[in-house]
Homo-oligomer: A and B are copies of this chain.
Amino acid sequence: MEKPRVAVIGSGSIGLLLYAYLKLANWPALLVTNRPEQADHLNKEGLTFVAKSGEHQPISVTATPLSSFYAEEAEVGFITVKSFAVKALLPQLQRKKWDGLVFFQNGMTHLEILRQIPARAICCGIVEIGAKRESDVRVQHTGDGTIWIGDMVGDSKNFDPMWACLHNVGLKAQKVTNWRDKMERKLIANAAINPLTGLFRVKNGALIENQLFSLLLKELVKEACVTLGREREVDEHLAYTRAICDKTANNLSSMYMDLTHHRRTEIESITGYLIKEAAKKGIEIPNTSFVYHAVMGMDEEGRKVRMG
């Protein structure tokens, strides 16, 4: 059987990393960027992949801007755009029936619309590894960990050889049956770490080193657990969240970076999901609610800056 061609849509850190590993595994892949300049740049210069060891490797790239991308060019799609950008992709994703689509977004709000896309299999990719885009044409695999793959719609066993190939070249990708569990676990951690580091403009480590921030971290984890019906697991999720802060102590979270650079944050798909769930269940989550409005408000300020 021929290898299905993969279109990696989105060229942020995860998109570039996945593309690099696909090419290292000799898998046919096309990179779809949002900005035409980035596609040009990548086609001309290729991509520099920096492994965890620090070793550099040049990767030749076939890139195309989203505006001239045809769904017919691939059988499988890896969707790595930010969660709030998924909706805008729908018309292009609905042009044909895909063999498989894998969604790599933070948060959970995008799950609602996935069923509108025709595909034999739709998976989630839960990224528990570190990747850093150092420039438009350079990406680093910064941290150990695993990408968990869950079947959300249909059955993706046809693509098991693909994951095995990626695994062989160093990207730990693993199928998981309890994907919602894994996704919620990541959501809980993100809902605590991201808004706090963004609001306080601190590195992830400060949330466990600073006693007062630590207290707020705990409150947010607790409220997220209650919202998701996991109140019995608070200690476990707090330990998981604190372990992330510890492991990534010197990192600046994506929300920190987005706020600093006046870019739109993912607050809606992370904390916003909890706000909606809590409202449905009539649960009060005051700390989560505070950071939701705070970051939404800062997003709004950022928009004003962007608009000049």
Interface residue ranges, A against B (CB under 8 Å):
199-200, 202, 206, 210-213, 215-216, 286-287, 290-291, 293-294, 296-298, 300-301
Contact = CB atoms under 8 A, between A and B. Distances in A.
Contacts of A297: 200, 210-213, 216
27 contacts: A199-B199, A199-B200, A199-B294, A200-B294, A200-B297, A200-B301, A206-B301, A210-B297, A210-B300, A210-B301, A211-B297, A211-B300, A212-B293, A212-B294, A212-B296, A213-B294, A213-B297, A215-B293, A216-B290, A216-B293, A216-B297, A286-B286, A286-B287, A286-B290, A287-B290, A290-B290, A290-B291
Please name the 8 residue pairs, one residue from A and one from B, whose CB atoms are nearest each other, closest first. Answer: A212-B297, A286-B286, A213-B297, A290-B290, A212-B293, A212-B296, A210-B297, A216-B293
A187 to B, nearest CB: 20
A3 to B, nearest CB: 48
A210 B301 CA distance: 8
Given A287-B286, A290-B287, A290-B290, A300 B216 contact: no
A257 to B, nearest CB: 16
Contacts of A290: 216, 286-287, 290-291
Contacts of A301: 200, 202, 206, 210
A212 B202 CA distance: 22
A293 B297 CA distance: 20
